Structure 1
Amino acid sequence: MSYVPYGVVGIIGPWNFPFNLTIGEAIPALMAGNAVVLKPSEVTPGSAVLGAELARAAGLPPDVLQVVTGYGDTGQHLIELADMICFTGSVATGRKVAERCGQLLKPVTLELGGKDPMIVLRDADLERASSACVYGGLVNAGQVCISVERVYVEGPVYDAFVQKVVAKVRQVRQGPPDAGVVEVGSMTFPPQIDKVERHVQDAVARGAQVLTGGRRRTDLPGLYFEPTVLVDVDHDMEVMRDETFGPVIPIMKVRDEEEAIRLANESRYGLDASVWTRDLARGARVARRVQSGAVCVNDVLVNYAVTEVPMGGWKESGIGYRHGPGGIRKFCAQQSVVIDRFGTKSEINWWPMTPRKAKLFRRALNFFGSGWRRKLRGA
């Protein structure tokens, strides 16, 4: 088995984590022997440009890593010209990329949206789980594809968990970098904060309660939305169905483990998830029932840093994986080479067919097709 680089890999990146999700994806493509053309988001193009400059300064041969900037039509041209496409972004755009690559019969990987569930079971360490919920839901102002987007908590610990989360969210410091020590900054993309606001308003209109946050911050320069905790939520609300991608933590009470798993899987997404319990065997069992490309037990987001294992989405969260051996091999065509060992003049299955060959074939089919292991044991 050998792996042959495709040639030129086109990487179309998103506006969030614009360095890691462009240059970070280019590195394994280059390691696999390809040249790379990056098309960063038009919202945050500078990070990829800087990354390419650093690569050249470090000695990467000229033009092996190139950056083209522009809008959607630039990405469309790259799809036409590259030998493989690697796309990270929204489900809607991912469908269009997949459609065109399918028409061209061109290999493609897609990392799309997520609506990542957190399942808190009644025996969880609530102190750790609540801290993880706050960090996992608010880091980078919630603009993380594997952030905590919805939380399901078993009834007996629901009130205590919510109380801890709300208290910790109220202690989160928000502001610009020059304001001192802050945990949550501005959002990146104006249409995204509009979507966050719309999700919160829809939830409230359908009966959700805002325990803290819930509004834009007009006192700060930029796109700031208050770290928000919602309760009394259900799956009729956009905030529990669609990717919010903002600093909002909706928490839902469930009867038991079974209901938590059912609701976690009641989604068109399947990128990341977490399960919280002191019983690690139970955690692993529940994790295997969650329809998601990756599940953490008693942690959040950390699977992305475990680069030995693959990361990718199920359902509408994408096709293909990054990280692990497959994260490099995906940038190659596989070739099998089979070499004859014995050098005989002919093979038994070659023509001309004879009665003796036919008899041997029948005996072989009878032996291997009717319990040959049992026959060898004399049973």
Structure 2
Amino acid sequence: MTDTRIDVRSPADASIVGSVASLSATEVAAAVTGIRTEQPGWETLGIRGRREWLERYRDWLLDHDDEVTGLLQAETSKPLQEARLELAMSLDLINYYCKNAEAFLADEHPRGHSVITKSKRLTITRHPYPVVGVITPWNVPLLIALADSAPALLAGAAVVVKPSELTPLATQRVIDGWQEIGAPGVFVCTPGAGATGAAVVEEADFIQFTGSTRTGIRIGRRAAERLIPSSLELGGKDAMIVLADADLERASNAAVWGGMFNSGQACVSVERVYVEASVHDEFVRRVTQKAWTVRVGTNDGASKADIGPLISSTQLAIVTTQVQDAVSKGATVVTGGERAQPQGGAFFQPTVLTGVDHTMQVMQEETFGPTLPIMKVANATEAIRLANDSPYGLSASVWTRNTERGREVARRLEAGAVNVNDVLSNLFLFPAPHAGWKKSGTGERLGGAAGIRKYCREQAIIESRITPHDEPLWFPYTPGKHRLIWRLLRFMIARDANRKLRKFGR
């Protein structure tokens, strides 16, 4: 085992809260070899056998909830309520796929599409990729690690997880829990920095990555070179459209929570708001009033704070730079706009900006901070145009009392998921796909059956129900067989009598 270790620091005060080994490429290869060896036996257990282990694992996670969420809080400094929400969503997802995996992965028998093909029996069966590599980000590390790993394990794959070097503690602990229940050795954690993640990409048969667009492009390129599939959830710049007939009290509450949940460090955070002119000022007033009451600090479970610090000084600098850029180009800081220092960590004040436009970084680049830039628009058409004026397309929201109009606007937005009169709810609905358009990624997670089938290779098995010694399409080719086959095919393909019955020319 390597002697190199990574110190994990609290974003609240930069104190060291733990450390993990940083695995080399050789050690990653050895870990993957180990789980690859165990994978055939895991697959042979069948769905019911694998489900039993996942259910035992769920129970272990429940029994260790305080320990796990304590580690998660220590390394992220997020409020305890949000740390527990990560675990709760993970457990709910495990239950969902345990309940449905057997049906989702059952063999299918589609019918032949024509008279000729009805003589064949079709079976579609699915086999897991032997090793799935899951590379996770720092913002919701526990949820993403478990949400991507559980379906893959149920599908019959072995899984190697590479957590962010900023937040590896909770992930490492929950994967240790898999070993503690005595489960087959098909689930390992390989902590480390970028080189460790690159090694996972070299060793796995399928890559599930969540993180920045820049890193995702590199991973997708290398996966393509290796001819292995990848699913990439990347950056977001999620738009919120508030129409004149919206319930402004609900919309303003949603904007503040949706923009500042996890200190704004979520791929589906509200990152820009477009409000019709007639309600703009009132919406801004309500949002400002609510944002001003959001408490910044650390939360030990006694509800002392609503948002914690940003993950690092690097992220703090990004948010600060974007706000300063907006102000320099004419934006107004209505509230916040500066670093907050309740404990001297990477805290930033809840910030509302008005007078923004698309020349500003805060409207074009991913922020990942507790900011709400609000732009006045003339109508829904302008809001849609501006919302789509982005390289990203992960999710969005539309606010209106007219649900039919809300659906119509939603269909015109270039985003993988659109919430009508809600925010972030698409993440809680496992039957719906979570997918990015444009530079927000390729592939998807969740989506009911798709969320587990993605970890499988499909195989088509075709059986002949009628088995003569020879077939009309086989050798030798003769004029008589040719005319007979073409007449039959023409009769089947044509959709009018003249073409069906036209005399065969040669």
TM-score for the superposition, normalised by structure 2: 0.72
- Residue 275 of structure 1 aligns with which residue? 398
Structure 2: gaps (5+ residues): 1-123, 501-506
Q: Tell me which residue corresponds to 2:133.
A: 10
Q: Paired residue for 1:357?
A: 481
* Distance (whole Å) between structure 2 residues aligned to residue 210 and residue 363 of structure 1: 76
Which residue in 1 is equivalent to 2:258?
136
Output the aligned Cα RMSD: 1.6
Residue equivalent to 2:374 = 251
Q: How does 1:315-326 map to 2 (within 5 A)?
A: 315-323=438-446, 324-326=448-450
Q: Percent identity, aligned pairs only?
A: 49
Contact map agreement 2:163 2:171 (CA 8 A) in 1:
yes
State the partner residue of 2:228: 106
Tell me which residue corresponds to 1:334.
458
Name the counterpart of 2:193.
71
Cα distance in structure 2, aligned partners of 1:114 and 1:275: 16
Structure with more of its chain in helix, by fraction: 2
Secondary structure at the counterpart of residue 433 of structure 2 = coil
State the 1:368 CA deviation.
4.4
The one-letter amino acid paired with 1:279 is N
Question: Deviation per CA, 1:337-356, whole angstroms, max 9, x where unpaired?
Answer: 11111112222222222223
Q: Give the match for residue 48 of structure 2.
A: none
Give yes or no for the alignment of 1:223 onto 2:346.
Answer: yes
Contact 2:296 2:342 in 1 (8 A): no
* Corresponding letter in the other structure for 2:217: R
Matched, 1:188 2:322: no
Q: Which consecutive residues of structure 1, in runs of 5 or more, have no partner in the other structure?
A: none
| Partners of 2:351 and 2:498 in 1: CA distance | 64
- Work out the CA distance in 1 between the residues paired with 2:329 and 2:485: 70
Q: Distance in 2 between matches of 1:95 and 1:163?
A: 40
Residues in 2 aligned to 1:332 and 1:265: alpha-carbon distance in whole angstroms? 33
Q: Deviations over 1:276-313 (max 9, x none)?
A: 11111111111111111111110000100000111110
Q: Amino acid of the residue matched to residue 176 of structure 1? A: T
1:47-196 aligned within 5 A? 47-61=170-184, 63-178=185-300, 180-196=303-319
The code of the aligned residue for 2:409 comes to V
Provide the secondary structure at the position in 1 that maps to 2:347: coil
4+ aligned runs moved over 4 Å, structure 1: 372-376
The answer to whether the 8 Å contact 2:271/2:367 transfers is yes
Partner residue of 2:471 out of 322, 327, 347: 347
Measured against aligned partners, the alpha-carbon deviations of 1:191-228 in whole angstroms (never above 9, x if no partner) come to 11110001000000011000000000134331110000
Which of residues 168, 173, 178 in structure 2 aligns to 1:45?
A: 168
> Which deviates further from its counterpart, 214-223 or 318-327?
214-223
Task: Report the secondary structure of 1:251's partner residue.
Answer: strand
SS of residue matched to 1:273: strand
Query: What is the CA distance between 1:60 and its match in structure 2?
Result: 2.2
Aligned match of 2:361: 238
Partner of 2:421: 298
**One-letter identity of the residue aligned with 1:124:** A
Secondary structure in 2 matching 1:113: coil
SS at match of 2:282: helix
Q: Does residue 210 in structure 1 map to residue 340 in structure 2? A: no
CA distance 1:218–1:286, change in 2 (3 Å): same
CA contact (8 A) 2:128 2:456 kept: yes
After superposition, the C-alpha distances for 1:223-275 in whole angstroms (9 at most, x for unaligned) are 11000000110111000001000000001111111111111111111111111
For the residue of structure 2 that corresponds to 1:338, the secondary structure is: strand
8 Å CA contact 2:297–2:342 kept in 1: the answer is no
> How much has 1:187 moved relative to structure 2?
1.3
- 1:24 has 2:147 as partner: yes
| Greater alpha carbon shift after TM alignment, 232-241 vs 367-376 | 367-376
